Amino acid sequence: MDRICKILIVEDDEAVCRLIGDVLDYAGYEFTLASSGAEMRQALDAEDFDVAIIDVGLRDSEDGFTLAQVADAKGCGVILTTGDPDRRPHLEAGSRRHLMKPFRMQQLTDLVQQVLTDNAALCAPRPRDNSLPARA
């Protein structure tokens, strides 16, 4: 498996987006950021992704539940996120993987790996270079 797993992050909070991106980069995944449904659609049309992490409470006109269907139709595994406790029942009633904000980053990377395994994705995280520079 030479291909690095690619993840699409759909999140309109810039700080959350950067944090998730940093965590996924450290975990060895390639990622693309999208802050709206329109940007997500453009990204999905431009390239293939293994997983889409979608905030259900985006500020544009489409919600994450609708966007999850779009990503799913493109063959992308889906993880939904929200910080809105009123959306929890809808998330739990559905069959999609989800996380309530705030979540631990280990929960996110574990869930990404579960989705990749469930979808039999033909990719892997990039190996980490754990070597430390020699001291002079």
Q: Work out the angle between the directed axes of helices 14-27 and 105-118 (0-180°, nearest 10).
A: 60
Q: Is the dihedral of CA 109, 7, 25, 90 positive or negative?
A: negative
- State which H helix or E strand residue 82 sits in: strand 77-82
Q: Are strands 6-10 and 77-82 parallel, antiparallel or unpaired?
A: unpaired
In a domain, 130, yes or no: no
Q: What CATH number is attached to the domain comprising 103?
A: 3.40.50.2300
Place of tokens 């139709």: 73
Query: Which residue range(s) make up the domain with 102?
Result: 6-118
Q: Please check the confidence at residue 134 and state whether its pLDDT lies above 50.
A: no
Evaluate the omega torsion of the peptide bond into residue 102 and state whether it is cis, within 30 degrees of 0: yes
* Per-residue pLDDT, 80: 96
Put simply, whether the predicted model's pTM sits higher than 0.75 gets the answer yes
In a domain, 77, yes or no: yes
In a domain, 127, yes or no: no
Mean pLDDT value of segment 95-113: 93
| Residues, the chain | 136
Radius of gyration, alpha carbons of the chain: 15
What's the domain count of the chain? Answer: 1
* Per-residue pLDDT, 131: 46
The span from the CA of 84 to the CA of 29, in Å, is 27
SS3 state of residue 130 = coil
What does pLDDT average to over the chain? 89
Q: What's the pLDDT tens digit per position in 9-36?
A: 999 999 999 999 999 999 999 999 999 9
* Per-residue pLDDT, 1: 53
